């Protein structure tokens, strides 16, 4: 499932979602990571933190790494991926994959993919998005 406004980034998003599914199916947890495209050269970026559990500052570290790449290359797209718990207006909560896309112009779009984990399989629900200026 892809939102119309995210179609230019479909390859990166699908790659990130595939990695999320693998990590969640194997360990039921997701460490934040980034996918960066520099002049169409795609690279994964992981936090320098070590250990068995996520630590405070991992997302911020990855955001800084994406920002640094944007400063040195003109055609850069960065996708930051992490897990969150979201709630709807009725107060119902669900797990979601958060995909924050920053294009080479500095525009930022956040897309949420609610998911459920059943029998080591990740089922994604329809995504929704919010737009922010950098």
Q: What is the pLDDT of residue 131?
A: 52
Q: Is the pLDDT of residue 100 over 90?
A: yes
What would the 3-class secondary structure string for 92-109 be? CEEEEEEEEEECCCCCEE
* Percentage of the chain exceeding pLDDT 70: 91
State mean pLDDT over 94-113: 90
Tokens 């199916």 belong to which residue?
25
Q: Which residues contact 105 (CB under 8 A, 6 or more apart)?
A: none
The owner of tokens 């934040």 is: 32
* pLDDT at 50 (0 to 100): 62
Categorize the per-residue pLDDT at 98 as very low, low, confident or very high, splitting at 50, 70 and 90: very high
pLDDT tens across 43-85, in order? 888 887 665 555 678 888 898 888 888 888 878 899 999 999 9
**φ, ψ for residue 59, nearest 5 deg:** -65, -45
pTM > 0.95: yes or no:
no
């Amino acid at each position: 499932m892809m939102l119309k406004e995210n179609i230019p980034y479909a390859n990166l998003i699908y790659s990130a979602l595939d990695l999320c599914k693998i990590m969640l199916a194997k360990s039921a947890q997701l460490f934040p990571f980034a996918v960066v495209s520099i002049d169409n050269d795609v690279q994964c970026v992981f936090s320098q933190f070590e250990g068995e559990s996520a630590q405070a500052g991992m997302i911020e570290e990855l955001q800084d790494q994406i920002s640094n790449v944007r400063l040195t290359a003109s055609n850069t797209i960065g996708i930051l991926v992490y897990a969150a718990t979201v709630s709807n207006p009725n107060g119902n909560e669900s797990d979601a994959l958060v995909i924050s896309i920053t294009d080479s112009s500095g525009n930022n779009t956040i897309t949420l993919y609610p998911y459920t984990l059943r029998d080591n399989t990740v089922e994604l629900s329809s995504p929704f998005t919010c737009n922010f200026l950098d």
